[in-house]
Amino acid sequence: MKVVIFCGGLGTRLREFSQTTPKPLVNIGYRPILWHLMKYYAHYGHKEFIICLGYRGDMIKDFFLNYNSYHSTDFVLENGTGTRNSPDSDVPDWRIQFAETGLHSNIGQRLCAVKKYLDDDEVFLANYGDQLSDLPLDQYLDGFLSSGAVGGFVSVRPSHSFHSVEAADDGRVLDLTSVTETDFWINGGYLVLRREIFDYIEKDEELVEEPFRRLISEQKLYTHRYNGFWKSMDTFKDKITYDRMNGIGDTPWEVWNSGQE
């Protein structure tokens, strides 16, 4: 299946980096979060990517056009002359279609803009370029395909802790509950879509608004609840959390290193 990745947003909540670097290129260790996401999909055999570009799309193109495996692999430098034992590429068989989809386009508009690159595929994958998970993808796909739904996404617990407040009219707090302790789920991306999704998207619509509501009204929207690792990179704090996890080798999203099938 082809994988559509939305990489065009401005990333304003991560402005410490996004003023100069598009959020999908913010590093975790030596590689951008986008690379980690693509490695995840490639692990499950999905190696044809369509990247929807917008803000600083030129930098994303340059990253792959000048891709260098040496940043994250061992190699030998001989005689101080630059002669190297070249390691095998860690992205040897990826096919990437770069698509300019507009600076201010929403997700629905970006998806419609790349419809022509899906060829005749009846089912395809899609995701935002700023979140990682160790979701067993094959299990999720099996559930979606057997459901007969047109669209699907993964439901996850929020990665941030919020507090729900119950208060009396006079301001006295009656209860304070961490959202992560409640039965509260959010859209975690990792979309699976049938080609029919384009019949549900009208001009300029955001994908998860009107189109998804139409699917709900016809009982054609599916979700897979997942309690495992999932985390987005929305803020500078998220970036630091990812760096700390990577620094101690706590990288559950690296299913390609864990033996997960």
Q: Which domains does the chain have, with CATH numbers?
A: 2-71+89-153+187-256 (3.90.550.10)
How many C-beta atoms surround the C-beta of residue 244 within 10 A? 10
SS3 content of the chain, % helix, strand, coil (to 5): 35, 25, 40
Q: What is the DSSP letter of 95?
A: E
Residues 32-83 have pLDDT tens digits of 999 999 999 999 999 999 999 888 888 888 888 876 665 555 666 666 655 4
Distances from the Cα of 110 to the Cαs of 113, 119, 126, 159, 186, in angstroms? 5, 16, 11, 26, 22
Residues 86-95 have pLDDT tens digits of 555 666 688 9
Q: What residue has token string 């997700």?
A: 107
Closest by alpha carbon to 49, among 4, 110, 109, 108? 4
